[in-house]
Amino acid sequence: MSEIIGFIGTGMMGEPMARNLLRAGFRLKVYNRTKEKARALAAEGAEIVDTPAQAAVDGGIVVTMLANDQAVEEAAFGPRGFAPALGKGLHLSMSTIAPATAARLAERHRTQGGAYVAAPVFGPPPAAAAKKLWICTSGDEAAKTRAKPILDALGQGIFDFGEEPGAANVVKLAGNFLIMSAMEALAEAFALAEKNGVAPAALANMLGQTLFNCTVYHTYGRFIAERNYDPPRFRLDLGLKDASLVLDAARAARTPMPFAALIQQRILSGLAKGRGGLDWSAMALGAREDAGLG
């Protein structure tokens, strides 16, 4: 494989993903706002460029893995954005962003003859490094076919949700919402248990072996029972971004989501108390504190 891929955004997730592409034989032009963070990839053969525009080749592919909607729009269509250089090529957009943003980006690329595929991922940085991401896709069929070799080099499975540009983003938001719901539910259950003299760890252990024997409950059941929030795997202030994306999408779709609203408030309260830098599962402290547990 010798196609040159542009790769924009080498943060906690993007950096191991870019490395996996290099190891799979792709040639990469890498851009990151803080150039220093892309340095390690140079040693593995990536070309580090100075602007998003320089990452693109006409008709090629650019992957974006950035912090939020604004960063993606800026990278593509900002003053030094890659879209003009990419032309009729493919923007493979892997960040967690709003479905409405995806729709807008897809439309702008289409206008210039280009393609846009949404491909947000589930999995923390270690999963990215181990090629264990789960990837959800949506967009034009031909473009998804073109993106497939790249996605195969990044994850352990791909789930497709059709041609509507933002569909995969809806799924990603739904998934994150479900994870946060599980965290809040565990937090409340543990508070009830603890105030009745039952150790949260014992409850978590039982749940994890029986009804809830899956990754999310194993992982967060343990973190929350042990109040293990530092260092963060995924920061609480980024959790606010995701919860807010969920609620914004819900507002746009006229869909009341009371659990989601409650989750956002838990996170807001955590941020108000200075916990933005803890793991997002620290939202579980809210239920404890409400119950007077120190």
Within residues 151-170, the interface with its own copies by CB under 8 A covers 157, 159, 161-162, 164, 166-167, 170
> Counting contacts by CB under 8 A, is residue 70 touching its own copies?
no
> Do 118 and 138 form a contact (C-beta atoms < 8 A)?
yes
> Counting contacts by CB under 8 A, is residue 141 touching its own copies?
no
Q: Is 209 exposed, middle or buried (0-12, 13-18, 19+ CB in 10 A)?
A: exposed
Q: How many CB atoms lie within 10 A of CB 98?
A: 20
**Candidate list 17, 147, 173, 285; residue touching its own copies; CB under 8 A:** 173
> How many secondary structure helices (H) and strands (E) does the chain include?
14, 9
CB of 203 to its own copies, least distance (A): 6
Of the residues 37, 172, 195, 241, only one is catalytic, namely 172
CB of 76 to its own copies, least distance (A): 22
Sequence-separated (6 or more) residues with CB below 8 Å from residue 181: 259, 260, 263
**Candidate list 16, 99, 120, 239; residue touching its own copies; CB under 8 A:** 99
Q: Tokens representing 138?
A: 């949506």
CB of 127 to its own copies, least distance (A): 11
* Positions in 210-229 near its own copies (CB under 8 A): 210-217
Q: Which is nearer to its own copies, 89 or 155 (CB)?
A: 155
Rounded CA separation 133/123 (Å) = 5
> Counting contacts by CB under 8 A, is residue 246 touching its own copies?
yes
Query: Minimal CA–CA distance to 57: which of 24, 13, 88?
Result: 88
Q: How many CB atoms lie within 10 A of CB 256?
A: 8
> Counting contacts by CB under 8 A, is residue 234 touching its own copies?
no
Is the peptide bond preceding residue 231 cis, with omega within 30 degrees of 0? yes
> Counting contacts by CB under 8 A, is residue 290 touching its own copies?
yes
* Positions in 106-125 near its own copies (CB under 8 A): 122
Please give the single-letter amino acid code of residue 262.
Answer: L
Rounded CA separation 208/195 (Å) = 21
> Counting contacts by CB under 8 A, is residue 260 touching its own copies?
yes
Radius of gyration of the CA atoms of the chain, in A: 20
CB of 130 to its own copies, least distance (A): 15
> Do 65 and 17 form a contact (C-beta atoms < 8 A)?
yes
**Known catalytic membership, residue 172:** yes
> Counting contacts by CB under 8 A, is residue 244 touching its own copies?
yes
Q: Which is nearer to its own copies, 212 or 234 (CB)?
A: 212
Q: Which is nearer to its own copies, 88 or 148 (CB)?
A: 148
CB of 194 to its own copies, least distance (A): 9
> Counting contacts by CB under 8 A, is residue 193 touching its own copies?
yes
Catalytic residues: 172
